[in-house]
Structure 1
Amino acid sequence: MISRRLLLGAGLAAPFVASSGAARAQGFPDRPLRYVCPFPPGATSDNVSRTMTRALGPRLGVPVIVENKAGAGGAIGSRMVAEAKPDGSVLLNASAGNLTIAPHLSHVGYDPLRDLAPVALAGVAYGVIAVNPALPVRTVAELIDLGRRRPGFLNYASAGIGSAGHLRGALLADEARVDAVHVPFPGSAAAAMSVVSGDCHLIIDPIAAPHAQEGRLRALATIGPDRWDAFPDLPNLAELGIGRNWPGETWYGLFAPRGTPAPVIARLNRDFNDSLAEPEVAAALLRFGVKPEAVAPEELGRRVAADHADIGRVLRRLNIA
């Protein structure tokens, strides 16, 4: 028979256990935060990371330091955060690529739906379909025509296997019925320079924007939620009747190790979303091709799960593995 003393003890312990997450969150943050970018310097992910850390630091009252942990299409940095202590001191600037594409293509060492906790969304990214100016095309229709006339001739550069640029290039080739070769690079900056130099023909990535604006690349169209203000005269790919049924969006968001206390997630989400509302932050993100969008952690989690499932089905249909 359980004694009355034991029952009373259990009753006193219950609120202590229930509030343990709040207790761990008290005083957060009490040290500099590590903000892991799983891609090299110069990539769009890196630009987003540095923009947000500069805004978050003053709000949180501690330094927020970007650490570039590139490799394996973003898997190395993502796995490092997934395995970190869940106290909010190590965060991940994740992209759609390394959470919803790459895990389908290789053993990344983490489950994006189980091992990482969604915190906040920086925004949805635009993309530019851009070619080397020496390529004799000025429209997407001309690019497709060239690809059909010369099967296997065209190639497209991306930030790596499992990146958003990889998937977008494969989807464009599939819908246009063009045989094109994927050329992966260790990051979008290197991929863009390969097209600038003429080693590759095509790239679909926001990092191509400044190269196109300065004449090093020729922009043919944009990809994104609407027309990109940086290229008001360029059609969105959907306006050309292409890409309307492509799965998922390209986005950048903040994630923490699974098990991070809810009060810590809430504090980070609040300060991150408040930072997005700053005109200087919003303008900087737009320059990098990211349209700011503030959402709750639960909404971000639903997006990741839906994109992960949709993209998995498309990768299997395209026989990309």
Structure 2
Amino acid sequence: MRASRLVTLLLLLQNRGRMTAKELAGELEVSVRTVYRDVEALGAAGIPLYGAAGHAGGYRLVDGYRTRLTGLTADEAQAAFLAALPGAAAELGLGEALATAQLKLRAALPAELRAHAGQIQERFLLDAPGWYGDADRTPHLAAVAAAVWARRAVVLRYRRWRAPEEIERRVEPYGLVLKAGRWYLVAGGPSGIRTYRIDQILGLRPLEEQFVLPDGFDLAGHWTGHLAGFRARLHTGEALVRLTPEGARRLGVTPTDDGWTQALVPIESIDHAHGEFLRMGTDVEVMAPAELRDRIAETARTLATRYEG
């Protein structure tokens, strides 16, 4: 623990140039007396630092003492700091590790790139979840992540949408994916590779047995294929519609010059399309299929009757 704190103290001084004992104590969450002892230990280990008293005093490293990363460009430094996801790391129990890693990276950068990296974090923030709906509760995420890392099988108690709604299954956790603020587990099981929502895991029991990934398995490649298959299964039908210029814009259709645009658009199901097209109000008219047109017409008549009074 103390060795880690000494490294952090050194990196803080490399990053900021000069810090008082009180400032260091606040960053390290220790007493000022502990900072004094740590500074003495660094000096005894040959680290060239010195302290000055007074209003402008504090501890600093001798100019030029710095570990540098060689060959890192400004764009690479930007990418490194943009790629860090503090929210995701915290959910995985790695928030402190990420902060320390960023501190080490910043300390090792040359001065001009260090300033550039600081500007990235000042000007860009990734907030992945959508606006509507509460954040998923993922109490088992850390345990799943540990199993993924250790390549150990687990027994999941899982809630799914079809009967039986609650199942128990032994799976081999291959990897974790964060998609639009929601965590997913890609795992091998009795019926092949499946995807599980972490927030639907009701219980988890780690097993001692380890597993080996299938030959050629690539998490990113598998996820890309999974998304392509999901989209193909999602849009299994089509609807012929007429759109106002605003309706065409909302559906991403190129409008025609006469004001109304006719287009064939993919739909997931009659029920889903019914709700989606109703949201567009008078900017869309469904021409086909007849079942969808009749459903929307019936809803419109019911609404008109309800609001007549």
Shorter-chain TM range is under 0.3
Q: Using CA pairs below 8 Å that are at least 6 residues apart, which structure has the higher relative contact order?
A: 1
**Greater strand share, structure number:** 2
Larger Rg: 2
Q: TM-score, normalised to structure 1's length? A: 0.21
